[in-house]
């Protein structure tokens, strides 16, 4: 749903006299303050970006076959069965600013219209390329020429020991919890390398998207930050 004059009136959040201008950018500014949705706007409302497009990861989804054809300056990023919407929202923002493609493999631990996901992604949803796969086989089949590099605390090789390519897929498993890393995914025959980030001993892990950010920027650094400024 794109916000229109009628939807603003029906929601009861504004009167006809205080109805916002038709400029989509002004509508967005009225609905958000410091990057957070104001409390008088319902969680199910979708806002528009400065171009009039809906800010929704669902509406901005890319088809797997289109993602495979994209020429990127950074590797692709893949979250297998992510559970925390804020992490995925932050990953959307990360991919928007680096030019990466974000692949999400089901099952997901949240609804893609989750308010926390949209909030963490701010207004970057329409600027990022996001692909939803029903299973891991869909990712492998859609990107047959890509090297999959799995990031896991059980690896022995450091993430800096890899020479990254824009066609690589940086694979991350579910956020730490009661379910262990899926061995068949993180160490399966489709994975070319398993790498880890160094940490102090006895500590469990970094935040998922913090880890992905470190990895993606290392890859982008190696590739000369092409496309950045």
- The binding site for S-adenosyl-L-methionine consists of 173, 197, 205
Taking the C-alpha atoms of residue 152 and residue 54, their distance in angstroms, rounded to an integer, is 35
Is residue 170 a contact partner of residue 216, using CB atoms and an 8 Å limit? yes
Phi, psi of 138 (to 5 degrees): -60, -40
Is residue 64 a contact partner of residue 102, using CB atoms and an 8 Å limit? no
Strand duo 191-196 + 148-151: pairing: parallel
- Write out the binding residues: 173, 197, 205
Residue 63's Cα: distance from chain center in Å? Answer: 15
Strand partners, 196: 158
* Burial class of residue 159, CB neighbours in 10 A (0-12, 13-18, 19+): buried
Is residue 179 a contact partner of residue 87, using CB atoms and an 8 Å limit? no
Taking the C-alpha atoms of residue 4 and residue 46, their distance in angstroms, rounded to an integer, is 10
Taking the C-alpha atoms of residue 163 and residue 178, their distance in angstroms, rounded to an integer, is 33
Is residue 118 a contact partner of residue 146, using CB atoms and an 8 Å limit? no
């Amino acid at each position: 749903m794109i916000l229109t004059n009628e939807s603003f009136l029906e929601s009861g959040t504004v009167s006809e006299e205080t109805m916002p201008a038709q400029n989509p950018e002004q509508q967005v500014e009225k609905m958000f303050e410091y990057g957070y949705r104001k409390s008088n706007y319902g969680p199910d409302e979708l806002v528009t970006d400065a171009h009039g497009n809906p800010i929704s990861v669902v509406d901005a989804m890319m088809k797997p076959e289109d993602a495979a054809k994209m020429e990127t300056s950074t590797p692709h990023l893949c979250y297998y069965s992510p559970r925390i919407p804020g992490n995925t929202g932050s990953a959307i923002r990360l991919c928007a600013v680096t030019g990466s493609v974000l692949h999400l493999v089901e099952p997901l631990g949240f609804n893609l219209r989750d308010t926390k996901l949209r909030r963490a992604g701010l207004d970057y949803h329409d600027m990022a390329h996001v692909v939803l796969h029903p299973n891991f086989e869909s990712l492998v089949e859609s990107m047959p020429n890509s090297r999959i590099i799995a990031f896991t605390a059980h690896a022995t090789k450091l993430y800096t020991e890899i020479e990254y390519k824009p066609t690589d897929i940086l694979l991350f498993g579910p956020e730490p919890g009661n379910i262990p890393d899926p061995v068949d995914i993180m160490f399966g025959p489709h994975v070319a390398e398993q790498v880890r980030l160094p940490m102090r001993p006895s500590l469990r892990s970094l935040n998922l998207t913090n880890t992905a950010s470190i990895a993606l920027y290392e890859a982008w650094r190696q590739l000369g930050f092409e496309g950045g400024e």
